[in-house]
Structure 1
């Protein structure tokens, strides 16, 4: 992973692919994972770190809450900022997930890109 790469974690393949295309159209690179366990495996196996992680909350295998718990316990991954992107209507508090931002689905593409730009300089 490179300094200007975004990791998209979402179990909905259509959403994941659309987000990756949006991010790549803006000049960044992006990779996806279908759930938290796959994302942790990718992060731990590949060199480099993404500049930001886009994280859905409701996913099979490992949901967003468990991913964040595992990420924060890993010193090599803990500092990577996370933007929660979820249709989950109970918006978790910032302290609960320690997220850099929270965007409810559906969200405005410009708002998402603003958040990505802040973290991927």
Structure 2
């Protein structure tokens, strides 16, 4: 049996984190949750093996998605994890392009589009 693929969901909205956790677990993923970039970095530095994909919101308190992505890029053990940006920012495409991420989605999220992107990107990892 194949080990579960792990996803890290970084979003300051508790309802979104809970909903995504439910959706991903139903799809057979193991899910880590973080409310902001600082919490996400702390989790990434504690886990035995890194997640196959990070789903990242951009607008969050304490450490936003931009600062989190910058921190990832400077950490050789974490820099190779694909990042999928999910943001309500109307210009999410240009924001994401500047972050060198694997992909981007606009909120509210389309579930089939989300699952398709997650499956594609987590298997490539």
Please confirm whether the aligned pair reaches a TM-score higher than 0.5, indicating the same fold: yes
User: Could you tell me which residue of structure 2 aligns to residue 102 of structure 1?
Assistant: 104
- Superposition deviation, residue 92 in structure 1: 4.4
Distance 1:38 1:21 in 2: 20
Unaligned runs of 5+ in 1: none
Matched with 1:118 is: 120
1:69 aligned partner: 70
Q: Compute the TM-score of the two structures, normalised by the length of structure 2.
A: 0.91
Partner of 2:48: 47
TM superposition shift of 1:95? 3.7
Please, which moves more after superposition, 34-43 or 94-103? 94-103
Structure 1 residues 119 and 3: CA distance shift in structure 2, 3 A: farther
Q: Secondary structure at the match of 1:6?
A: strand
Partner of 1:4: 5
User: In structure 1, the residue corresponding to 2:92 is in which secondary structure?
Assistant: coil
Determine if contact 2:12/2:36 at 8 Å carries over to the other structure.
Answer: yes
- Check conservation: 1:8, 1:32, Cα contact below 8 A: yes
Query: Distance between the aligned counterparts of 1:26 and 1:95, measured in 2?
Result: 28
**What's the TM-score once normalised by structure 1's chain length?**
0.94
Q: How far apart are the structure 1 equivalents of 2:31 and 2:108? A: 20
Partner of 1:26: 27
CA contact (8 A) 1:11 1:60 kept: yes
User: Which one has more relative contact order, counting CA pairs under 8 Å at least 6 apart?
Assistant: 1
Cα RMSD between the aligned structures?
Answer: 1.3
